[in-house]
A and B are shown apart, each in its own frame.
Chain A
Amino acid sequence: GAGVSQSPSNKVTEKGKDVELRCDPISGHTALYWYRQSLGQGLEFLIYFQGNSAPDKSGLPSDRFSAERTGGSVSTLTIQRTQQEDSAVYLCASSLDRTAQYFGPGTRLTVL
């Protein structure tokens, strides 16, 4: 079956611009997660959606970051006024909540 997909695979943007990253989870998975992977920091949690519950935003590094999940499926992570320190690989994962998480290929974001 289809796995988690993410788009775009690569994004280069200029400092100060807004970017949107998209995640399509595995069909039927109720939980969706966003993580960020950067050199020296490893993988860090950003935000978590479970069904219709309010998202857990405790990992978002600043108010420039936001995410939404429409119809309990597709999710969009938005970064406003991008900074160079936002350069990283953004990974999305989905699961049947508290079971194994399955990751997408990631979006590599480069902020010039």
Chain B
Amino acid sequence: KQEVTQIPAALSVPEGENLVLNCSFTDSAIYNLQWFRQDPGKGLTSLLLIQSSQREQTSGRLNASLDKSSGRSTLYIAASQPGDSATYLCAAMNSGYSTLTFGKGTMLLVSP
């Protein structure tokens, strides 16, 4: 059974810092991995999706990497802004399945 872990559970940084959020998974037979953002009381917003054949994906100030052999993915946020404050979730889709297994998220606070 796939298990997804996100460390740290919470992170507080000053505006302008570059930061890395970590996601690890126990079963390396994944089809893809997706990063989401969730604002308080809201649904999930898709940020990036990395296929198992890819090493990284970039969107604006966000860069996600994937290392299947070590069971790890990272989300890099450059030049953080207060508007980046939210909970970030990673989710793995295993090969042969179509549903996502989620981590419990990292709550990010970027202070001005």
Spell out A's residues near B (CB within 8 Å).
4, 31, 33, 35, 42-45, 48, 50, 56, 59, 91, 93, 97-106
Contact = CB atoms under 8 A, between A and B. Distances in A.
A78 B47 CA distance: 30
Interface size class of B (residues with CB under 8 A): 20 to 34
B3 to A, nearest CB: 11
Contacts of A99: 49
B46 A106 contact: no
A4 B45 CA distance: 11
A93 B101 CA distance: 14
Given A43-B89, A91-B44, A48 B99 contact: yes
Label chain A's interface by main secondary structure: strand
Contact of B99 (A4, A33, A100): A33
Interface stretch (B11-19, B71-79, B102-110): B102-110
A55 to B, nearest CB: 11
User: Interface of chain B, helix or strand or loop or mixed?
Assistant: strand
Contacts of A43: 89, 91, 100, 102
Contact of B44 (A45, A59, A97, A103): A103
A31 B49 contact: no
Nearest to A48: B99
Contacts of A102: 46
Given A100-B34, A101-B34, 12 more contacts: A33-B99, A33-B100, A42-B103, A42-B105, A48-B98, A50-B98, A59-B99, A91-B43, A98-B98, A101-B46, A106-B42, A106-B43
Contacts of B49: 99-100
Interface in B63-112: 89, 91, 93, 98-105
A17 B93 CA distance: 34
A25 to B, nearest CB: 13
Contact of B104 (A42, A97, A98, A105): A42
